[in-house]
Every structure is written in structure tokens, then in C-alpha cells.
Amino acid sequence: MERTMYPLDPKEMPTAWYNILPDLPQPLPPERHPVTKEPCPLDMPLPPPLFPDAINKQEFSKERYIEIPEEVQSIYRLWRPTPLYRAHRLEKALSTPAKIFYKYEGVSPAGSHKPNTAVAQAYYAKKEGFKRLATETGAGQWGSALAMGAMFFGLELKVYMVRVSYNQKPYRRMLMETWGAQCVPSPSPDTEVGRRILKENPDSTGSLGIAISEAIEDAFAHDDTKYSIGSVTNHVLLHQTIVGEECRKQMEMADAYPDIIVGCIGGGSNFAGQFLPWIRDKISGAKPDLRVICAEPQACPSLTKGPYTWDYGDEAGLAPILKMYTLGHTFVPPPVHAGGLRYHGMAPIICHLYKLGLVEARAEHQLATFKAGVTFARTEGIISAPEPNHAIKVVIDEALACKESGEAKTILLAHSGHGHFDLAAYDEYLSGRLKDYEYPEEKVKEALASLPQIT
């Protein structure tokens, strides 16, 4: 019998998240205050206190392992441990000697990795006595995950959803509502900033930057409310390490260790959750040859094209200033289907590792990623979201390189979720209507001109 799935017994599910901060070869550049632009001490939560205390502490923790509260573990167990698969059929279709594995987060009720942090963030907010959460969402992936997380702890949730997506993609809105959250199109008449923008432009289709501003304003305006974010920050990456921690145990079951780990990056949390628990072996020198490849869209290539500099985490300039590879916080990427990869910057931890030469990056065109996604669907069965299709494209390239060189490398794919809500994009691809977007060099140049001035 050819072994395909490596399920981890629920009793073996890791009970701690892995924190890379103490293992970094050089410390992460400190965040800067959005108004004063001065460095903030690492052990002091930034004003404004957007997050619960426990989250602020995790953001800068020096502990290598942080225990996952039993209440969070208990919800993780509704779908975790997630399966690790060996992609025998894809390997055969490519005639590659490479061994391809994939860890699949699509089995969560929300269909992606996002609940790993949503559940944790909701738990801490509840524990500290808050009643409500506010957040933004683009295509709705994060909003629906947090809707589920908030529901489990009896928290109210208001999601500000970018209006163009709210109108075009009603299914994730319905998902949020089924789990009991309130979802409004952004800009909305419910906040100061929303009213201002609607007054200036009643037909505004919104942007993630506006939605963030609305969610933050909402959290500020209500004492019982905290803001919640779905990627980029250290604590989100921390919560996602449950993925890689599980995967290490499963790869051991398969008697395998990856030569190459591949994942897609938007804000970076999905892939960091997988690779951080492995890259410590590279940092420590135990596995110096381990390669980690980040896949990003050609339409929004932060790592491969952006400068490493100081920039706001959000468009409105309310969030901390972070040292990132960035295309500029006012940059609006072309409308590729991989909505989760349309972020101007990148998680500071990933940027830091990229700067240190510990991870690689590759930018892919939309059409090629859908071609890869269809190959995956027609061999492994799973219809993937447009985001992981970027990683699948890179995996296939690496597997074909193995065919060329005759090397039987072990490739591990971080598969972040299914594409059940993205079938219209597949339809566009299959009917020849899907197109590529060139890297919008001029727009980036313009956006980079408005970076915060840090001396």
C-alpha cells in the first residue's frame, strides 16, 4: 500500500506555539510609533492599545514556546491536527523523482489557516473581559475565520468588508452571518472616516486601508471592543506555528525532512506558520542547506521588488511603522484573484529573514498559477484557492528541476486552503478570460514617494 495521508493523532497535537524571536540571529528592528515615529521599546505595547494585553505581550515575547490555552486547543481539535499528504499523483504526472508533501489547512470549517489565530485572538479578548471585536476584511477569508472564532467565545463581531468585494463576493459575507457576525460594506456610514469618504465620494468601492481605519475607529470608540488583525504581526505568525509544529511530527512519521519548503505570502502568516518551526534548524546550523521559497504575485511583489524600509502597516497611517519590504502603504495592487496576497508590505519577521538571506522569494504571474492549480486539482483532487496556487506553481517548477537533474529532493508545500469560493476565477481561467497584470512600476514609484520620513 502506497501511503498518501499522514494523520497525526489528536493526542499528539502540539500544545505550544513556537516563537522565533529568541532564535533570530539578529534582533528584529523595533517598531516605530505612527505619530512620533520614534522606536518603541520592545517590551512596551505600542499605543494605541489595539489588542488585548496577552496579545501585546506575545508580540514581543522572548519565550521560545508559548502554551496554547486549553480552551483554544479544544477548538483547534474541531479540525486539527490537519492532514499531511504525499502527492504521489502529482509526482507521477510530472515524472519527477522529487517527493512532494503538502500540509493542508483547507479542512478547517472556514477553509483556510486563518482560524488558527482567529480562535486565539477571540479567546484572549474574551478572557480579558471584552465583549466585541472589530476587524476589516478584503475578499472575506479573514472576516469569516474571525466570525467563527468570535462565535465560539460568544463575542460580537463587526466586520468592515471592502465594498467592491461585499458586492461581488456575497458568499463569504453569508458565511460570516451564518456564524453570527455583522458584516457591513466599507466605507460605511457607521464611522467618522466612513462618513467622510462617503461624503466625498458616495460611489467609493472602498479599500483595505479604509476598512482597517474603520475597524480601528470602531475599536477606539467602544470600551468593550478590541481590534483584531489576520496577518503581518508577530503574534499572528506565532499562532500559525501550530501548522509547522504539527507538520514536523508528521514528516517524521513519513521518515522525511524537507530539502525545500514552499508557500505563498501576502501578509506572510500562513507560510511563516509552516516554515518558522523548520528554519530554526537552518539558523542553528543543523540543516544549513534547507531552502525556504516564498511565492508572491507579480502584481504585488513586495519581497522581490520592494525596498527594505520603514512603512506604515496600513494605508491610513494609524498602525505602527514597520521595517518591511514594501511597495508603499498607499499602493493599490491590480485586481488579481489572489486577494489574500494583495498587501503592500510583508510580515517584519519574514522581511528580516529575507534580508539575512535565510529565505528566498519568487514572483509568479496569475495565469501560470491557475495552470498549476488545475494540474493539482486534476492529480490530487483538491481545488485550491488562488493564493496557494502561487506556491503550487513554484513546487511544480522545483519538481521539474529535479526531473532535469535527477535529484530526488523532498519538497514540502504549505497549502493554505481550498478554492470553493473562488470557482468563478477558475471559470475565467478555463474559458480564456483570465489575464495577467504586469508589475505596475509607476504606481509603486508613486506610492514609495509617500513613505514616512525616518531619520
Residues at the interface with its own copies (CB under 8 A) = 1-5, 7, 9-11, 73-75, 77-79, 85, 89, 107, 109, 111, 148, 151-152, 170-171, 174-175, 177-180, 374, 377-378, 380-383, 420-421, 423-424, 426-427, 430
User: Which spans in 201-321 are helix H?
Assistant: 208-221, 234-253, 269-283, 302-305
The whole-angstrom separation of Cα 112 and Cα 322 is 26
- Cβ 74 to its own copies, closest distance in Å? 6
Contact 134, 173 (CB under 8 A): no
- Nine-digit cell string for 445: 514609484
Cis bond upstream, residue 187 (ω within 30): yes
Q: Which CB sits closer to its own copies, 36 or 74?
A: 74
Q: Which CB sits closer to its own copies, 109 or 335?
A: 109
- Cβ 255 to its own copies, closest distance in Å? 15
439 Cβ neighbours under 8 A, 6+ residues apart = 298, 299, 301, 305, 363
Q: Which CB sits closer to its own copies, 22 or 109?
A: 109
The whole-angstrom separation of Cα 333 and Cα 141 is 18
Q: Which CB sits closer to its own copies, 152 or 227?
A: 152
- Cβ 6 to its own copies, closest distance in Å? 8
Q: Which CB sits closer to its own copies, 108 or 240?
A: 108
- Cβ 238 to its own copies, closest distance in Å? 22
Residue carrying C-alpha cell 489557516? 113
Measured in degrees and rounded to the nearest 5, phi and psi for residue 379 equal -115, -50
Q: Which CB sits closer to its own copies, 31 or 91?
A: 91
The whole-angstrom separation of Cα 115 and Cα 123 is 12
Name the 3-class secondary structure at 428.
helix
Q: Which CB sits closer to its own copies, 243 or 293?
A: 243
Q: Which CB sits closer to its own copies, 10 or 41?
A: 10
- Cβ 77 to its own copies, closest distance in Å? 4
- Cβ 171 to its own copies, closest distance in Å? 5
Residue 33 carries which side chain, given as an amino acid letter?
Answer: H
- Cβ 98 to its own copies, closest distance in Å? 19
- Cβ 237 to its own copies, closest distance in Å? 23
- Cβ 92 to its own copies, closest distance in Å? 11
Nearest to 28 by CA among 74, 72, 61, 75: 61
The whole-angstrom separation of Cα 417 and Cα 230 is 15
Q: Which CB sits closer to its own copies, 292 or 372?
A: 372
Q: Residues in the chain, how many?
A: 455
Beta bridge partners of 84: 6, 103
Q: Which CB sits closer to its own copies, 106 or 348?
A: 106
Q: Which CB sits closer to its own copies, 181 or 193?
A: 181
- Cβ 122 to its own copies, closest distance in Å? 13
Residue carrying C-alpha cell 499528504? 85
The whole-angstrom separation of Cα 198 and Cα 195 is 5
The whole-angstrom separation of Cα 365 and Cα 131 is 43
Contact 375, 413 (CB under 8 A): no
Residue 290 carries which side chain, given as an amino acid letter?
Answer: L
Nearest to 87 by CA among 379, 434, 383, 425: 379
Residue 201 carries which side chain, given as an amino acid letter?
Answer: N
- Cβ 250 to its own copies, closest distance in Å? 12
